[in-house]
Amino acid sequence: MATTLRCFAVLVAFLLAACTAELPPPAAPIAATPEMIAKLAAADAKDGTVDKCVHRCAGCALGMNGMATMPLQVGDYAMHFCKQACRDRYAEDAAGELARLKVD
């Protein structure tokens, strides 16, 4: 019983630490070219709702959901990423990354 309580206490401490962890600072907005806007519009429509928000992580080829807490503003579009590494890659070269993104 004591071992179970200790394990539970460790789990609660871990969850509390994860919930209070600081979010990374927002990335600077990026201007978008017409080519970037066309790709963003296609990626935006991928989730079935055209709302100027790419909810799927473009860093993971739109294969998983991004998080609103990990955004990047590109032109009039908000892009949500699953993790900071994906967002940082797009923040460094959004034009190049969008040019390589395949939206089926």
Pairing type for strands 67-74 and 77-81 reads: antiparallel
Q: Are 71 and 77 in contact (CB under 8 A)?
A: no
pTM: predicted TM-score of the whole model, two decimal places: 0.76
- Residue 33 within a domain: yes
- Residue 80 within a domain: yes
Residue range(s) defining the domain that contains residue 72: 25-100
CA distance 71 to 28: 10
Smallest CA-to-CA distance from 43 within 57, 32, 59, 54 is with 54
Number of folded domains in the chain? 1
Give the largest Cα separation in the chain, rounded: 63
Q: What is the pLDDT of residues 30-82, one digit of tens each?
A: 999 999 999 999 999 998 899 999 999 999 999 999 999 999 999 999 999 99
Q: What is the pLDDT of residues 16-30, one digit of tens each?
A: 444 445 777 888 999
